[in-house]
Structure 1
Amino acid sequence: MCSPEKICDLQLNLLPDRIKSDRRLKCVRCDGIRGKPALVIRTDDPAMCRFCFVDGCVHKFKSAFGKSQLVPNGSRVAVAFSGGLCSTVMLDLIQRSKVRFNPVVFHLVGTKERELRNSEPIRSTLKDSGLEFHILDSPQNQLLIEFRKQLRFIWAQSKFCMLTEVETLLVRLLLVHCARELGCEFVLFGTCGSYQAVNFLNGLVDGRGSMAASDTMFVDLRSTHPVILRPLFEFMSKELVFYARFQHLNWVTPENPITEAVLRRPGLTTVTRLCQDFLIGLQFNGFPSTTQTILSTASKLAATSVSSSSGTHAQRCHLCLAPIPSPPDVSNPHKLALASLVHSLSLSHESPVDSSINKVLEKEPKQEKAPQFCNACFLLYTDMTAELKPAFRNVVHQLHELRTGQSVE
């Protein structure tokens, strides 16, 4: 005869399996009225049919704007469209959500080889949307294209992780500039929650501290005109894939020097790819709430960093737009990590110990105006080869002058 304790243990072991089987037999929202169960987002989530899933995605997208109440009715909002999965899903959600603002879709042209392959699908998608759209090719975009060409030829001579960060930060600056030129107060980026969690971990590895959490929020206040919004911050990458499949959406694969280098040598990797593999392994192997936990923790750090930097007029990094802290007290280099970093960089450049990072940067030869970098971006700059630095400084300088409203010669 079994003891009461063994009977209780047996019931607890059988209960989750029975509940799980019932939750997978029919859609949890419509109770199977609208269709058969089609997908399960996480291992502990109930099943949903395709119609309820699409309606849930539309509601989640609209609630992102409703909760913040940041975008006024009738305002012009730029929509950055690259033709990839995230931006294609975001464009379809904008059409289905009947938003109250006026979306202005824009696409930046790439190299001639890429445009020959992807120009027609992207242009047809923009025309079919029925929204105002622009295909832009600014002079600053040409500078960025030339910089990418140099990356293709000398990527093997530099640190591979650096190329990923520089590519992402420069493209973000250029997209913000294009939205400003279109007269928009806000710009929408199609970054989903899975990528934001990866960017958060990558930012911590790169030494961005609390500012790494700014990439995980719906509102990114580092750029005030226009303000960066991420309406897909609550979507997982798996949700976007199923949404595109159910809605029969076609997208193109964006090309960049990093992707081309990985295709040539699959053994190459970056910190971003390692963080992504780490999160995917946890997400789908017994810890389904990993991404949500990281984003929730990052939002608390972001709220703390925004409140602590509010009301201050600190200088900002010309690349990532993060506030640059004041030079630390380096009389004791072991006092903090930032002081130790400045101390090491000063010794490597044979400069006085009390020099800051930007003072070290100003001493480089043949440079009229040295850009201001935060600690993490300065390390990216120092990792570049001598051939890359002039082109990089030129792109950053022009984008900074356009952001501040100064004339660019």
Structure 2
Amino acid sequence: MCQVDEDYGELERAAVPSVSKKCVKCKEAPAALVIRAGDAYCRVCFKDYFIHKFRAMLGKNRVIFPGEKVLLAVSGGPSSCSMLRQVQEGLSQNANKKLRFLPGIAYIDEGAVIGQSVDERQRTVSELQALFKATGFPFYILPLEQVLDLPSSVVATAPSPSERPATAYKAAVDHFVQSDGANLLTQPEELEEKPLPLVQESRTRLLQQLIGSVNTLTAREDLLNRLRQHLLVHTARTEGYSKLMLGDSCTRLAVKLLTSISLGRGAQLAQDTGFLDSRYGDIISVRPMRDYSAKEIAYYNHIFSVPSVVIPSLDTKKTDKASIQRLTEHFVTKLQADFPSTVSTIYRTGEKLQNACRKSSAGDHCDRCLLCMCTLDTAVEKASAFQATLISDQLSRTKSKGGSSTEIPRQSPGRPESAAPAGLCCSSAGGLDCGRSARGGGYCSSK
């Protein structure tokens, strides 16, 4: 029996990861951080690990060819700013495996959507403009109001360039190395000072009216994402960029995958969360940060002083149940804290997904959505949720001859199930007069 004064000794506690252990890579330097249980790195090894993962992602896929112009979509957040630092270091002279493309930066000012004043928007843009100037890359400040003036060609799939064979990448690298490829770093002297873009107040009100016409926060965030994507693609086309580089992290893609399933976009997951997104044809989007978790990016930015700008968004200071996106993010991050393999499991599942429309030998003739430019998933069987929705919509639009909606009388309580209401021809004539209006009631019709 337990006694109050009984000596149980010291209770053993579960082993907690400590930064006092040695680095798992070099086995010599003391660890400065712990990414996962058992993965402790020193500062030097963690930087090498972070850089290698970024360049290995680009080198493994071999999508960006030497000399191509790539537009970096930088929102000012930790992930996109970390991506900008990786590109900047990859183009430096002392880089081990240099990047061989021409980068540009695009930032979309969304201050009108969240109700910021003109001074607040100018302050944020000036801060980011100073950050972009330090990189030496050409940059474009794009107010979101410009999406109202986009041509209709932005929602049309342009003809994609012909696919190159696997040996074309190596041949392009050899040709680039033999030629003078040092002109990649001559851009800082050629940059011109660009004034901050001015936006008319009428266009701002029109954009706010568009966003305000959407009832739920879930739909607003989804609409804002589509508008942002159209503006980036249009800028890449007009400025001569063939690739668009996005800064979506592994954690963000895991949240996006579950959110898309909840919103009924399961057929488009391969393009929304994959490394390669070729829905626009001539402009190909890549996600080189998709192997990094939010924790790794936060550690890297803190240790190596990567600057970022805190910019509010639509869901800032909202509750966890304000939208499906917000609720899914809260669910994934909370589950990740208790089970560290949650994000990686969701992410690895998303890697196995494929596009619903596969290219045939005659070409890709799949119909596409005019808003998101993804392949329509309407070629389904009759016993499907999509067909049930169509039938329900067709029945709700059916009108009687008098102009009122056709209604089926409800079964009165206590009445036998076999007794049909008066006026139904099928119940009175046994189906012989089906197709004719019985007693002028109009319940039965050939259609």
TM-score w.r.t. structure 1 length? 0.71
How far did residue 329 of structure 1 move?
6.0
1:91-111 residue CA offsets vs partner (Å, 9 max, x unmatched): 001011231111111223444
How far did residue 135 of structure 1 move?
2.6
Q: Which residue of 2 aligns with 1:74?
A: 67
Against the structure 1 CA distance between its residues 161 and 309, is the aligned structure 2 distance closer, same or farther, given a 3 Å change threshold? farther
- Percent identity over paired residues: 30
Matched, 1:343 2:391: yes
Structure 1 Cα separation of the partners of residues 319 and 17 of structure 2: 40
Against the structure 1 CA distance between its residues 233 and 116, is the aligned structure 2 distance closer, same or farther, given a 3 Å change threshold? same
Query: What letter is aligned with 2:80?
Result: S
Q: 2:34 aligns with which of 30, 40, 47?
A: 40
Say how many residue pairs are matched. Answer: 322
How far did residue 145 of structure 1 move?
4.9
Against the structure 1 CA distance between its residues 215 and 153, is the aligned structure 2 distance closer, same or farther, given a 3 Å change threshold? closer
Q: 2:300 aligns with which of 228, 243, 253?
A: 243
Q: Which residue of 1 aligns with 2:80?
A: 87
1:225-269 residue CA offsets vs partner (Å, 9 max, x unmatched): 21011110101111111111112122222334x23xx53x54652
Matched, 1:150 2:215: no
Bigger fraction of residues in helix: 1
Against the structure 1 CA distance between its residues 128 and 317, is the aligned structure 2 distance closer, same or farther, given a 3 Å change threshold? same
Matches within 5 A, 1:292-331: 292-302=344-354, 305=356, 307=358, 311-326=363-378, 328=380, 330=382
Q: Which residue of 1 aligns with 2:256?
A: 199
How far did residue 341 of structure 1 move?
1.8
Matched, 1:124 2:181: no
Q: Which residue of 1 aligns with 2:404?
A: none
Structure 2 Cα separation of the partners of residues 309 and 255 of structure 1: 44
How far did residue 63 of structure 1 move?
0.7
How far did residue 351 of structure 1 move?
8.4
How far did residue 117 of structure 1 move?
2.3
Task: Determine if contact 1:210/1:301 at 8 Å carries over to the other structure.
Answer: no
Against the structure 1 CA distance between its residues 145 and 220, is the aligned structure 2 distance closer, same or farther, given a 3 Å change threshold? farther
Task: Determine if contact 1:211/1:305 at 8 Å carries over to the other structure.
Answer: yes
| TM-align CA RMSD | 2.9
TM-score w.r.t. structure 2 length? 0.65
1:353-390 residue CA offsets vs partner (Å, 9 max, x unmatched): xxxxxxxxxxxxxxxxxxxxxxxxxxxxxxxxxxxxxx
3-state DSSP of counterpart to 1:41: strand
> What residue ranges of structure 2 are gaps of 5+ in the alignment?
1-11, 92-98, 113-117, 150-202, 401-447
Matched, 1:140 2:146: yes
Against the structure 1 CA distance between its residues 141 and 87, is the aligned structure 2 distance closer, same or farther, given a 3 Å change threshold? same
3-state DSSP of counterpart to 1:222: coil
Structure 1 Cα separation of the partners of residues 399 and 218 of structure 2: 28
Which deviates further from its counterpart, 338-347 or 198-207? Answer: 338-347
Task: Determine if contact 1:24/1:46 at 8 Å carries over to the other structure.
Answer: no
Matches within 5 A, 1:226-305: 226-256=283-313, 258-259=314-315, 262-263=316-317, 266=319, 269-285=322-338, 287-302=339-354, 305=356
How far did residue 134 of structure 1 move?
2.6
Query: What letter is aligned with 1:305?
Result: A
Against the structure 1 CA distance between its residues 195 and 139, is the aligned structure 2 distance closer, same or farther, given a 3 Å change threshold? closer
Matched, 1:159 2:207: no
Q: Which residue of 1 aligns with 2:177?
A: none
Task: Determine if contact 2:255/2:328 at 8 Å carries over to the other structure.
Answer: yes
Task: Determine if contact 1:23/1:46 at 8 Å carries over to the other structure.
Answer: no
Q: Which residue of 2 aligns with 1:402?
A: none
Task: Determine if contact 2:147/2:230 at 8 Å carries over to the other structure.
Answer: no
